[in-house]
């Protein structure tokens, strides 16, 4: 999807834990979540930072603030953070992944990709499809791996075995 | 990984916003559980839906009075908790209120400090019993009147301590403390549960 190098940055000033973290994937015009978030007004930004903190702390609700898409089996990796500004609804679409499969398999990363303004309740399927495409994108995987190099037990074991032989 | 200061470190207003927002999240979860929409909640509060939405969408400036009113409407109470998490510079932000709620629920919802003290005593007794037990293969529980371990059966220890009784419980091969706790004879390893059985054996 992307010929240019992508970048992944954790959301600044939000706590990360060994269980969950949130960051922005950016470097492509379609990946507008980072720039939109940076330009948000203070109330909406604080609202979203609070919601992100809740999710990192282990909350999976309320759905008025963030939720996954369990009713869309094809998009089960998709996630969204929501905020309201006047009559418009901000949607920050993301995907969830486990970048440390070897060293910390339970660690869950929320990769924010696309921002959209919503007036309707229903989620736009097209946005989920775009997020899903970024989930599978090789450049995105490289960008995340740069932030989360996964030198875990399995890889160490493999190296050890090779060295013995 | 680079350590970033938490956003609530910037000002008291930011910290207040975060804890107000966490509080509103608690209300929203409660409303989801009870399937109460904002419109219905506004009716219960005797306020306009717009006013309620304003609070839910931008909870930065809630007074204690409003907090209590909103919580009461959903059948909840509020405690203001000051704590020391060893982070005086607020590098990590506030502890989520749900951490306190879950911890309180896990402690069987003590109503006062006496109940907390009772739980602590029981917990200490559990730990002591656990430390008395040696481990083997899971089989069955055997209660013995004998003061000596049964030949060929691994003895897990005197659950009552030396000063209580000479009656011993010989338990053949329990894999873990939890497997003992699950057996009908010793459902609850606390002394109150076991003591009547011991008295029967003694008589």
What pLDDT is recorded for position A118?
A: 84
- Any residues with CB less than 8 A from the CB of B133 and at least 6 apart, and which? B156, B157, B174, B177, B180
Residue B4 contacts A, CB cutoff 8 Å: yes
Phi/psi at B10 (nearest 5 deg)?
A: -65, -40
What pLDDT is recorded for position B158?
A: 38
Question: What digits encode the pLDDT tens for the residues A39-86?
Answer: 999 999 999 999 999 999 999 999 999 999 998 889 999 999 999 887
What pLDDT is recorded for position A121?
A: 66
What pLDDT is recorded for position A3?
A: 59
Average pLDDT, chain A: 88
Count of CA atoms in the C-beta half-sphere (13 A) of A131: 31
What pLDDT is recorded for position A109?
A: 97
Element (H, E) at B198: helix B191-202
- CA pair distance A44, A51, nearest whole angstrom: 11
> Do you know the residue count of chain A?
165
Residue of A nearest to B91 (CA): A15
The label of the residue with tokens 């007036």 reads A119
Note if the bond before B11 is cis, omega within 30 degrees: no
Give the pair of three-digit tokens for residue A33: 């979540």
Give the pair of three-digit tokens for residue B163: 């000063």
- CA pair distance A59, B82, nearest whole angstrom: 22
**Residue pair A66/A81 in contact by the 8 Å Cβ criterion:** yes
Mean pLDDT over B35-62 rounds to 92
Q: Partners of A131 in the beta sheet?
A: none
Residue A15 contacts B, CB cutoff 8 Å: yes
Residue B90 contacts A, CB cutoff 8 Å: no
Confidence of residue B3 (pLDDT cuts 50, 70, 90): low
Residue of A nearest to B13 (CA): A46
pLDDT of A132 > 80? The answer is yes
Question: What digits encode the pLDDT tens for the residues B137-184?
Answer: 333 333 433 444 444 444 444 343 332 333 334 333 333 334 344 444
B-contacting residues in A 38-57 (Cβ below 8 Å):
43, 46-47, 49-51, 53-54, 57
Q: Do B96 and A64 touch (CB under 8 A)?
A: no
What pLDDT is recorded for position A154?
A: 53
Which of B173, B184, B194 shows the shortest CA–CA distance to B126? B194
- CA pair distance B63, B81, nearest whole angstrom: 16
Residue A133 contacts B, CB cutoff 8 Å: no
């Amino acid at each position: 999807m992307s010929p240019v190098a992508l970048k992944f940055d954790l959301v600044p000033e939000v706590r990360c834990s060994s269980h969950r973290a949130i960051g922005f994937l950016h470097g492509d015009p379609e990946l507008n979540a980072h720039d939109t978030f940076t330009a948000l007004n203070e109330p909406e930004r604080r609202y979203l930072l609070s919601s992100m903190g809740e999710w990192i702390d282990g909350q999976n609700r309320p759905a008025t603030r963030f939720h996954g898409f369990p009713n869309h089996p094809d998009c089960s990796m998709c996630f969204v953070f929501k905020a309201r500004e006047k009559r418009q609804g901000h949607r920050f679409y993301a995907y969830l992944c486990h970048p440390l499969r070897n060293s910390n398999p339970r660690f869950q990363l929320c990769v924010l990709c696309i921002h959209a303004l919503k007036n309707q309740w229903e989620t736009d399927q097209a946005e989920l499809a775009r997020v899903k495409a970024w989930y599978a994108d090789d450049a995105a995987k490289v960008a995340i791996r740069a932030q989360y190099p996964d030198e875990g037990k399995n890889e160490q074991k493999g190296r050890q075995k090779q060295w013995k032989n | 990984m680079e350590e970033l200061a938490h956003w609530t470190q910037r000002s008291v207003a930011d910290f207040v916003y975060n804890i107000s927002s966490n509080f509103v999240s608690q209300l929203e979860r409660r409303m989801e559980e009870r399937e109460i929409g904002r419109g219905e909640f506004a009716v219960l509060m005797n306020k306009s839906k717009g006013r309620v939405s304003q609070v839910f969408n931008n909870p930065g400036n809630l007074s204690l009075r409003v907090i209590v009113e909103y919580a009461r409407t959903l059948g909840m109470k509020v405690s203001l908790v000051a704590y020391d998490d060893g982070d005086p510079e607020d590098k990590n932000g506030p502890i989520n209120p749900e951490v306190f709620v879950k911890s309180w629920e896990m402690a069987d919802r003590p109503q006062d400090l006496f109940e907390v003290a009772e739980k602590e005593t029981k917990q200490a007794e559990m730990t002591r019993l656990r430390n008395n037990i040696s481990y083997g293969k899971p089989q069955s529980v055997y209660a013995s009147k004998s003061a000596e371990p049964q030949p060929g059966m691994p003895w897990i220890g005197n659950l009552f301590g030396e000063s209580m009784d000479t009656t011993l419980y010989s338990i053949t091969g329990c894999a873990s403390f939890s497997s003992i706790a699950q057996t009908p004879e010793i459902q609850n390893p606390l002394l109150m549960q076991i003591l009547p059985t011991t008295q029967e054996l003694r008589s």
